[in-house]
Amino acid sequence: MTIPFELQSNADKKLIGMVHVGALPSAPNNTQSVAEMIAQATKEAKQLQAAGFDAIIIENMHDIPYVHGDALTPDITSAMTAVACSIADAISIPFGVQVLSGGNTHALAVAHSTGGAFIRCENFVFAHVADEGLLPKAEAGGLLRYRKSIGAQSVKVFCDMKKKHASHAITGDLSIAEVAQGAKFFGADGIIITGSSTGKQTAIGDVREAREAVDLPILVGSGVSPDNAGDLFEFADALIVGSWIKVNGHWTNPVDQDRAQEMVRSCRG
């Protein structure tokens, strides 16, 4: 059963925690069985729910170096589905899915089949160059048609603007506001503003610019901490927290329950 994730512009503020699934079977850094990855991811999802997070995202970030789009192998989709099934049975808060890199239809299929409420899409509008190579076409047209074809319109698509770990020289003449307006025009359900890479603080000015440009839910997708959450929430509707809530504040480590609880307390008192 899908647990909806209600995120509205200028409404209640939400905290979303990242569950970084261990390196999947085909990834160079894989050291765990699928069963072990499922157990660890499910444990972390339960920790984030217990700490008071409103939702989680499951993501295969440990699969570095990434392959993109059509190069994604079936084990990635199947393992992420198995993880999502276990998490869906273990928690009562909404969850979303991201499949790196560019696995947006894969993520949508996983979310739709397991009760996920949303996906994160990095290349929804405009082309750019990422660390995994040239991403030459926008995902919006094909992705939203696929969503309709499988009856998954209830799964929201939250979209990165000028995504992290990428060069944006190709779109250097476009502001954050203009990219956000393009995403709204193409049917995004929400937009995500980030810093330049994982753990790097998101510029509050960029969040403000997006807020002023579009009437859509605004999410912040990197560098969130107790020190800046209040300022970010002035313009954002949701904060995605991945690095700060991990042991020693590094995304590669497991969730630190004390840090997760501190993150929630910093936002809610």
Greater confidence (268 vs 18) lies with: 18
Tokens 């997070």 sit on residue: 53
User: Tens digits of per-residue pLDDT, 222-250?
Assistant: 999 999 999 999 999 999 999 999 999 99
pLDDT band of residue 11 (cuts 50, 70, 90) is low
Residues in the chain: 269
Q: Is the domain defined by 14-268 classed in CATH 3.40.50.80?
A: no
User: Tens digits of per-residue pLDDT, 158-182?
Assistant: 999 977 677 778 888 999 999 999 9
Half-sphere exposure of 167 (CA within 13 A, CB side): 8
Indicate whether this model's pTM tops 0.75: yes
Q: Residue 193 pLDDT more than 80?
A: yes
